[in-house]
Amino acid sequence: MAGMFKNVFGSQAKPDDDFADFVEAPNPSPASLLADSTTVPAANTLAPNAVPYTAWYRVWERTSLSDFKQEAMIMPVILVIVLFHLWGTRKNRQRAKAWAQAHTPSLQKEFSVVGFDGISRQAAEGVSVELANPESVLKEKSASEFAAYATGRQNTAFLDVSLKMPKRYNPITYVMEYGLSFFFESWEPPVEKYEALLYAFDGKEKDLVPVLSKDATPVKVPSSTYDGFIWAVVHKSHMRKFRNDRYDASITFSKDNPKLPSWVTVMTESAEISDTLLTPELIQAIEQAGNDFEYLIVTDQPVDRPTKIEETTPKKRIELAANLASSATGYNSTLPLFNQFLRLSDKLVASAHFRAEVMRKVRNVREEEIKKLRRVEEEEKAEERRIAAEKIKKEERERLLRGMSADEQRKFLDREAQKDQRRSMKRSTRKG
């Protein structure tokens, strides 16, 4: 009792041993923020591998060159690819610009509008005019393909030119194309060439571009029509691919012409056509072009095999394909052929009107092709009619079955099975 009263009135007493674990420990006193100078180690006493604390932006104090081994191996590869891309795109643009500089004078002499800006620049005989900027003549469709355009000429609707270059901007593709062409004969090596496509008016000037005089009255334009046919001069090294890739070339026959060099052949539907179109100037231009020449074709049929009769409608055009020269001065070998190509439409309008026997032979070939397409079309329509009739018959059968009872349906199905059995017996009897 005495001990209890002592605790109540604040007297100090020794804690009981049973409650010693619950006695509150003394609160720790905060350490001084000012460290004793004697406890701070000197800078020269740090461990050899210890890195002193630096600010986050002082990267050079926290890293070393050994931390960038992977980057050191990847960066040269990326640098080579970027440099190769820049070199390839620049090289292709230079090659396209060289072609434009060499051919722009001929285009301006033959066409009133050259390039995609729509500005008329025509050079008359003996008149000096400013040449069009090669950059305005060309349009870069991709890093390996460029296009040129010209219009405004008698007997010619317009001219499209496509320049195709190797994919120099991609080192992997560039090397693979050359490698595959080296090991596989069917794989053609990448070449630099241009394909020019000239569309003839064929008497449709009034519908497409009506010509008006100063007082806005229609001007009578000479007829620009000529007979439709297929005639081509092809380098023999390209002859097989030319015939396999083009439908219009597949319906012609090949024959060497004594007037032409031995390394080219003629594909035509009649020998009389060759006698008319092979002028001395054209023969000389082909000889001068040499191995840079690929093909020259006058055609009125599609390149792809037609699948419908509407696709056989004649569309007259002239096409030329030749390799690009190694430099701007090297186009002296193919430029005469390009000039002959531009003026060939005038030759066709003036001379490509053949005898009835020649054109009858040409029409017979086209009519045979049209008959084949008509037979295919009739077979497809007959198949569609058969499928439609079977669908109607099936719907009628299902309608009848839905209106029958179970016994009537069983009898109906039995009769169908008997009919099928009789049909199969008749077929087996006929075959025997």
At residue 50, the pLDDT reads 60
pLDDT at residue 21 is higher than 80: no
At residue 33, the pLDDT reads 45
What's the length of the chain? 432
Whole-number Å distance between alpha carbons of 348 and 228: 10
Q: What percent of the chain has pLDDT over 90?
A: 38
Q: What separation in angstroms does the CA of 12 have from each of 5, 7, 90?
A: 11, 7, 99
At residue 213, the pLDDT reads 54
The residue type of 192 is E
Nearest in space to 319 (alpha carbons), one of 338, 306, 335, 333: 338
Q: How many CA atoms lie within 13 A of 320 on its CB side?
A: 27
Q: What is the per-residue pLDDT across 338-372, written as a single tens digit (0 to 9) for each? A: 999 999 999 999 999 999 999 999 999 889 888 98
At residue 30, the pLDDT reads 52
Q: What is the per-residue pLDDT across 331-347, written as a single tens digit (0 to 9) for each? A: 888 999 999 999 999 99
Q: What is the per-residue pLDDT across 155-212, written as a single tens digit (0 to 9) for each? A: 999 999 999 999 888 888 888 887 887 787 777 778 899 999 999 988 887 776 665 5
Q: Count Cβ atoms within 10 A of the Cβ of residue 163 and give its class: 0-12 exposed, 13-18 middle, 19 or more buried.
A: buried
Assigned domain for 33 exists = no
pLDDT at residue 300 is higher than 80: yes
Element (H, E) at 197: strand 193-200
Per the structure, how many domains does the chain have?
1
Assigned domain for 382 exists = no
Predicted TM-score of the model (pTM) = 0.72
Higher pLDDT, 219 or 281: 281
The arithmetic mean of pLDDT across residues 279-295, rounded, is 93
At residue 365, the pLDDT reads 87
Nearest in space to 156 (alpha carbons), one of 317, 44, 32, 332: 317
Strand pairing class (264-268; 253-255):
antiparallel
Q: What separation in angstroms does the CA of 41 have from each of 32, 36, 278?
A: 18, 11, 102
Helix (H) and strand (E) counts in the chain = 12, 10
- Whole-number mean pLDDT of the chain? 81
Q: What is the per-residue pLDDT across 38-79, written as a single tens digit (0 to 9) for each? A: 444 444 455 555 656 667 777 777 777 888 888 888 888 899
At residue 34, the pLDDT reads 44
Q: What separation in angstroms does the CA of 244 have from each of 120, 250, 390?
A: 40, 7, 41
Assigned domain for 188 exists = yes
Q: What are phi and psi of 162, to 5 degrees?
A: -120, 120
Whole-number Å distance between alpha carbons of 280 and 294: 19
The residue type of 40 is V
Assigned domain for 174 exists = yes
At residue 25, the pLDDT reads 53
What secondary structure does DSSP assign to 250-313, as a single string? HTSEEE--TTS-TTEEEEES-HHHHHHH--HHHHHHHHHHGGGEEEEEEESS-SSPPSSGGGGS
At residue 409, the pLDDT reads 85
Lowest mean pLDDT among 60-64, 132-136, 156-160, 375-379: 132-136
Find out whether 277 and 352 touch, Cβ atoms under 8 Å.
Answer: yes
The arithmetic mean of pLDDT across residues 390-417, rounded, is 86
Lowest mean pLDDT among 67-71, 128-132, 244-248: 128-132
What is the rounded end-to-end Cα distance, in angstroms, of the chain? 133
At residue 68, the pLDDT reads 82
Assigned domain for 397 exists = no
Assigned domain for 223 exists = yes
At residue 230, the pLDDT reads 94
Assigned domain for 427 exists = no
CA 90 to chain centre: 21
Assigned domain for 44 exists = no
At residue 11, the pLDDT reads 47
Question: What is the domain extent for residue 277?
Answer: 73-361
At residue 124, the pLDDT reads 45
Whole-number Å distance between alpha carbons of 271 and 365: 15
The arithmetic mean of pLDDT across residues 301-326, rounded, is 90
**Contacts (Cβ under 8 Å, ≥6 apart) of 25:** none
At residue 51, the pLDDT reads 57
Token pair recorded at residue 369: 């092709």
